[in-house]
Structure 1
């Protein structure tokens, strides 16, 4: 089931082989320190460069970890989940809910930051051009001959 997609959208099974530096990612969340409002789930907060997760490439920051080696993580403390990872063995099976991807036709806030900035600069340039055009038209029509 390495990398298999489940019928419930976005759920995938990923098996990682623990490397010299562990699995190569950090987690946040748990019932004792919610990361997402009204959700006590466990989320990937950082993928460490050259770690097992980065080399595999499927686990991403923002993904929600649903289970470790078949053990459901619902209603667990952060510390309890850290302990599960610590004792999970060399080959670790993760059931993961992939983070939601946003489409470009969604609200501006869902766009990547650099695209949102470019879009904003384009609007500012268009507004500046329109202001110059209006000023030129106004100045041409306001000339008086004496």
Structure 2
């Protein structure tokens, strides 16, 4: 079926020139911090405003980074991937698999090519707030039922 969400993801080669703030994106993933269950790949968590990646415009949040300067990112720990980005030089060639529509956002934090900053997933936060509210209501109902009717004594 053409145009379906299950189509083969597109692979792009992207050249970025490191700017004053690095490459301008944060990453998540690795063999020790899987972003997507049963996938130890490295993914773009956040694109920083006015950074090299944002100025280029092709790299998107959720994209999987397959290679950096010819080095495959398979079976790397998160910290090893971060180090590979830090030492990649000024001109960085990325091979990227664009995200699939079916992929979901992952954890709350990520690490970039030179710093650490929180990444916030609004949908996950809404889910957490709704779950907490539901748990509170259920707790009140259970408490009232267990307490039973009060005697006037």
Counterpart position of 1:79? 79
Quote how far apart the aligned CAs of 1:50 are.
0.5
Cα distance between partner residues in 2 of 1:41 and 1:101 = 17
Quote how far apart the aligned CAs of 1:65 are.
0.2
Cα distance between partner residues in 2 of 1:66 and 1:22 = 19
TM-score for both structures, normalised by structure 2: 0.60
TM-score for both structures, normalised by structure 1: 0.63
CA deviation profile, 1:5-38 (whole Å, cap 9, x unmatched): xxx7511110100000000000000001000000
Runs of 4+, deviation exceeding 6 Å: none
SS at match of 2:93: strand
Cα distance between partner residues in 2 of 1:39 and 1:71 = 18
Counterpart position of 1:129? none
**Which structure has the larger Rg?**
1
Please show how residues 119-130 of structure 1 align to structure 2 within 5 Å. none
Aligned pair count reads: 96
Q: Which structure carries more relative contact order (alpha carbon 8 Å, separation 6+)?
A: 2
Higher helix share: 1
CA RMSD of the aligned region, Å? Answer: 1.4
Unaligned runs of 5+ in 1: 1-7, 103-112, 114-146
CA deviation profile, 1:103-129 (whole Å, cap 9, x unmatched): xxxxxxxxxx8xxxxxxxxxxxxxxxx
Kept in 1, the 8 Å contact 2:18–2:91? The answer is yes
